[in-house]
Amino acid sequence: MSEKQARSLPKIPRHVAIIMDGNGRWARERGLPRLAGHRAGTENLRRIIEACVEFGIQYLTIYAFSTENWARPRDEVEGLMDIMEEVIDREVPKLHEQGVQIRHLGKMEGIRPELQKKLREAVELTRNNSRLILNVALNYGGRDEIVQAIRKMIRDGLSPEEVTEERVAQYLYTAGIPDPDLIIRTSGEYRMSNFLLWQGAYAEWYFTPVYWPDFDKEELRKALEEYARRQRRFGRVEPVEEPVR
């Protein structure tokens, strides 16, 4: 896909969020352990980040590990954390070179200290980059995010009248990031799984049966074409082009 082709779409979402699902089933269908699926998933992530840059997407949010995923077998959780550390070591220097800014969405508490350190360092290293903002949702839960925000507002002594939609948004992990325009879920599951509950209020959803390790640039292009055909109304009668943000 050339840059020209990539940019030929009539409208491109500013913020794309992805529930990267189906690694386990991808592996099982090949007679491989689940962790092999997670490794294949991270390989794919590199390709999709590149494609997002080519398409001119400004914000990409990826769901890497939910607050509920701790309930998986210990070996899988530990293996996933190992993979994430490896991926940060291997990919962050390249991402930094490409001008990608990395942000973490989620609770640091509960993540093993080595991974916390790597995450903080990646965020710090890339903080002035602006080609693509990559939000990594790791130990992220939409309900947890809202609870953390409420606690912080109370601690800050906000009066009831000061609690507005704008103010709440400023207390979320995504403070300063526009809401997602398009949320993609791979692997044929049709649910939110606690992802961007507040921010996704008016997102367009795109579901595909393709497992995450097989969701390539061509699949992303199909999602973007579908998005370009959608009419967003935000509760009105007439389509609204892009919301003023």
123-162 mask for ligand IPE (x: CB under 6 A)?
----------------------------------------
CB of 185 to ligand IPE, least distance (A): 8
Q: Give the Cα separation of 208 and 216 in Å (integer).
A: 12
With CA atoms as reference, report the closest residue to 106 among 65, 134, 50.
Answer: 65
Give DSSP secondary structure letters for 158-216.
--GGG--HHHHHHHSTTTTSPPPSEEEE-TT----TTSSTTGGGG-EEEE-SS-GGG--
What is the footprint of ligand IPE within residues 70-129 (CB under 6 A)? Answer: 80
Q: Which two tokens stand for residue 147?
A: 């609870």
Find the binder of Mg ion among 12, 15, 21, 111 (CB under 5 A): 21
Backbone φ and ψ for 238, nearest 5 degrees, come out as: -90, 150
Which positions from 211 through 240 interact with Mg ion, judged by CB under 5 A? none
Single residue of 12, 23, 35, 171 touching ligand IPE by CB under 6 A: 23
Torsion of CA 70, 74, 76, 82, to 10 degrees: 90
**69 annotated active-site:** yes
Comparing CB distances to Mg ion, the nearer of 23 and 61 is 23
Three-state DSSP class for residue 85: helix
Choosing from 23, 44, 69, 214, which is the catalytic residue? 69
Among 14, 58, 69, 107, binds ligand IPE (CB under 6 A): 69
H-run or E-run covering 64: strand 59-66
- Work out how close the CB of 83 gets to Mg ion at its nearest, in angstroms, rounded to a whole number: 15
Stretch that binds ligand IPE, among 15-23, 125-133, 155-163, 237-245 (CB under 6 A): 15-23
Active site residues: 21, 69
The site for ligand IPE (CB under 6 A) is made up of 19-25, 63-66, 69, 80, 187, 189, 191, 193
